[in-house]
Amino acid sequence: MITYGTNELNVKSGTLSITQSKVQTVRHYPGTDISDVVNLGKPPTRISCILQVFTESDRTLYESILQSEGTTQNLTIDDRYYKLVIASDLSDAKPIDNLGTGWEFNAEFIALDPKPYSVATDEVLY
C-alpha cells in the first residue's frame, strides 16, 4: 500500500522504483598507498512509478496531487515512509486501453529528506 499524505495511490504492479544515492569524493595521495573519502551528503531520494486510475474523480485527484507546487507530504510505502516529499512534474494521462476504462500517469516523487523511516518506530531505517 502506498499513500501520499492522506491519499492512497494505486500503483501499477512492478513499476515502483526507489533511487537513493550518496555524494562523496575519494582522494588518493600520490606516491603512497593511502586514500581517503569525504562524505558530501545525500541528495534527495527519487521514487518513480506508474499510477493507475479508473474513475474520473480519481483522475482529477491524481492530477491535483501531481500539479501541486511546494506542498510536502509524507509518502508511505508498506512499512516505511519518507518525509518532506513533493510531486515532480506532471505527466499526461494516457488511456490504459481503447475502451476508456482508466488512465495511467508516469509519476515521480522527490523525498527532500532522503532517509527512509520506520512506520512502526518512527526511526531512521539506515
Q: CATH classification of 2-118 is 1.10.12, yes or no?
A: no
Which candidate, 93, 90, 64, 89, places its Cα nearest to that of 5?
Answer: 64
Q: How confident is the model at residue 90 (pLDDT cuts 50, 70, 90)?
A: low
Q: Where are the domains of the chain?
A: 2-118
> What value does the mean pLDDT take over residues 72-84?
95
Cα of 71 vs its chain's centroid, Å: 14
Q: Per residue in 22-76, pLDDT tens? A: 999 999 999 999 999 999 999 999 999 999 999 989 999 999 999 888 788 999 9
Average pLDDT over residues 73-90: 92
Q: What are phi and psi of 65, to 5 degrees?
A: -65, -45
The three-state secondary structure class of 4 is strand
